[in-house]
Amino acid sequence: MSETSSLLSLVVFLHVISAVLWVGGMIAIRFAVHYSIQNIVEPRIKLERTLENLKRFFNMVIPAIVILLITAVILIILLGFKGTPLYSFVIAKEAIWTIMTIVFVIIYIKRNKAEKAFVEGDFLGAKNNLSPIAKYYIPVNIILGIVAIYLGVTLRGF
């Protein structure tokens, strides 16, 4: 295996594992953790667990988002997509990841507002900031992430 081939394999691996961590993490948070937390009866504990789970998720996914961005740029350059008919797929994929990152920033801000409200004893304010994360933002990002992963697989098949 040549040095360029080894580098390419490493970059593709880091790119894919970052996407898996981000999208897979959201799927786990939304469809496993979220529902198990709903079984907690005490509202204060439910909010506290949700805030803690999201904080831990952020600690895992923020590096993955950064790695995803860096490896995307490297792959575009190494694979020479610019100026090819496949470049429109690349642009679509990167547009999706950009939208997902913006949605992630909104989630991050809402979680921090929820934590501030929680610390101040405003449990309703905390709940109101957390609620759209599970109902809207994470499901949207899951769908977008799955589409982006599909586009990535399609690009690798060419």
**131-146, pLDDT tens digit by residue?**
999 999 999 999 999 9
CB 133 within 8 A of CB 111: yes
Domain count, the chain: 1
Element housing 27 (H / E): helix 25-28
Q: With 0.85 as the threshold, say if the pTM is over it.
A: yes
Round to whole Å and give the CA distance between 34 and 53.
9
Return the pLDDT at 158: 58
Return the pLDDT at 1: 65
Q: What is the pLDDT of residues 45-68, one digit of tens each?
A: 999 999 999 999 999 999 999 999
CB 129 within 8 A of CB 114: yes
Return the pLDDT at 83: 85
CB 100 within 8 A of CB 21: no
The list of the chain residues with pLDDT below 70 reads 1, 157-158
Alpha carbon distances (Å) from 12 to 17, 46, 90, 133 = 8, 38, 14, 30
Q: Provide the residue range defining the domain that includes 130.
A: 3-157
